Amino acid sequence: MARVFSAIQATGGLHLGNYLGAIKAWVDGQDEADCFYAIADLHALTIPKERGEVGAHTLELAKVLLACGLDVNRCTFFVQSHVREHSELAWLMQCVTSMGELNRMTQFKDKTQNRKFISAGLFTYPALQSADILLYDTDKVPVGEDQRQHIELARDTAERFNSRYGETFVLPVASIPRAAARVMDLQDPTSKMSKSAASEAGTIFLSDDPKAILKKFKRAVTDSESEVRFDFAEKPGVSNLLSILGAATGSDPASIASGYSQYGPLKVDAAEAVIEALAPIQARIAELDNDPSGVRAALKTGADKARKVAGVVVERAKTNIGLLVD
């Protein structure tokens, strides 16, 4: 059975981009592979946070991911910092990753803009991500398009490690969804949807109620024409709506376009499809609100399982490097 690994940062507010770009594939893939899914709380520390903030976001995010359908009987679901091997292998990966490679990461460039304090962790962040993936002998990494460059770096540095020290790591590949690989902001369809957008009007949060979702879609920025066509270069707003509708209903965005001659009905249909997809998740979030100890127990089970695999791989890496065994 193939091994799958993916992770999401422990920052507040899961949004529709996270869900359609990655989490939906995590949930759907649980029976098709041996899946390991983590909440990347160490990655969240690369941008300064208030004391206690990351822990609170981790618990909240765990609840939402369980509500989305992660099932601890069908996958290994855990918190990155609960498995020490992530930090340990991250150091080894930093030592086979070049400054030039890290400098080329577009996310580093994006995240440093207008920022006074740039942590060393933000720069070496991709090496920790490589460690996350390589620790589980991962074949496939389901992610949105924005993570492709990081997965390619994990593969390149794993290859370098293997050629320097002998066969150690499985070489991973990114698995990116056909529709909604890059969900765009509803107010600025040339930027990806994100929790740190200037205005919340362009971001659909998983916690948004149906009224808020409909309002955000109705106000979505399109263009001054009226033709409904799937063409991201010329018509980013309309194409984003088609892409969201396609991903939420399991259909092809380009073929849905022919069913519309105006933007209004497309906006309403996209909103309704999203409301329908999120309704069961929101109902389960409300149930899990009453069961915080169940969420913590789920994470503990996951960490115990993850440690067993990660421990073997990190020892293999140290042995192959030829560090003195204690």
Catalytic residue among 24, 63, 140, 192: 192
Q: Is 323 left (phi over 0), alpha (psi -120 to 50) or beta?
A: beta
Half-sphere exposure of 116 (CA within 13 A, CB side): 1
**8 or 285: CB nearest ligand TYM:** 8
In the complex, minimum distance from the CB of residue 15 to ligand TYM, in angstroms, rounded to a whole number: 7
CA distance 182 to 192: 6
Nearer to ligand TYM, 8 or 278 (CB): 8
8 is a contact residue toward ligand TYM (CB under 6 A): yes
| 18, 47 Cβ separation under 8 angstroms | no
Is residue 184 a contact partner of residue 190, using CB atoms and an 8 Å limit? yes
Question: Which CB atom, from 8 or from 92, has the smaller least distance to ligand TYM?
Answer: 8
**Which of 140, 192, 216, 235 forms a contact with ligand TYM (CB under 6 A)?**
192
Report residue 249 CA to chain centroid gap: 20
Q: Which is nearer to ligand TYM, 43 or 267 (CB)?
A: 43
Q: Which of 4, 13, 21, 96 binds ligand TYM (CB under 6 A)?
A: 21
Q: Is 111 a catalytic residue?
A: yes
H or E element: which one contains 152? helix 148-165
For 41-198, where are the E strands, in sequence order? 76-79, 140-142, 173-175
Residue 235 bears catalytic tag: no
Alpha carbon distance 64, 286 (integer Å): 10
The residue of the chain with the least Cβ separation from ligand TYM equals: 21
Residues numbered 127 to 186 that lie near ligand TYM (CB under 6 A) are 129, 132-133, 141, 143-144, 146-147, 180, 182-183
Location of structure tokens 């990494």: 141
Q: Does 45 bind ligand TYM (CB under 6 A)?
A: no
**3-9, strands of its sheet edge to edge:** 76-79, 34-40, 3-9, 140-142, 173-175
Catalytic sites, residue numbers? 111, 192, 195
Give the footprint of ligand TYM on this chain (CB under 6 A). 6-9, 17-18, 21-22, 40, 43, 129, 132-133, 141, 143-144, 146-147, 180, 182-183, 192-194
